Amino acid sequence: MAAARTGITECGMEECSYNIAGKCMAAGVNIGGPHQECDTFFKGGEKGGMHEPEAIVGACKVKQCGFNKKFMCVAKNIKVGLHEGHADCTTFRIV
């Protein structure tokens, strides 16, 4: 049986090319960088991604998050929002 995938229920990063009406249209996002940053975020001149919001967390590289199990997110879903000028996983919880 396949493991459940972590969905992205909300994205507060309106300027992201994958954000349409607060929903993430990327096929998947990676969380990592120097902390719980959304590595998939980028600003572009046009919107893109899938036609329906089914985005999932592909990988989580933030070892100190309580939802990180073997670099996979085990939270039921996450939210992405603005933190200090960049996109972060706001569901992040330190171990």
Total number of residues shown for the chain? 95
Q: Does residue 87 lie within any of the structural domains?
A: no
**Do the beta carbons of residue 81 and residue 36 sit within 8 Å?**
no
Q: Does residue 94 lie within any of the structural domains?
A: no
Cα–Cα distance measured from residue 39 to residue 51, given in angstroms and rounded to the nearest whole number:
21
**Do the beta carbons of residue 39 and residue 76 sit within 8 Å?**
no
Q: Could you tell me the residue range of the domain that residue 62 belongs to? A: 7-77
Short-list 9, 2, 3, CA closest to 55: 9
Model confidence pLDDT, tens digit, residues 1-54: 456 789 999 999 999 999 999 999 999 999 997 789 999 999 988 999 988 878
Model confidence pLDDT, tens digit, residues 62-89: 999 999 999 999 999 999 999 998 999 9
Q: Does residue 28 lie within any of the structural domains?
A: yes
Q: How many domains does the chain have?
A: 1
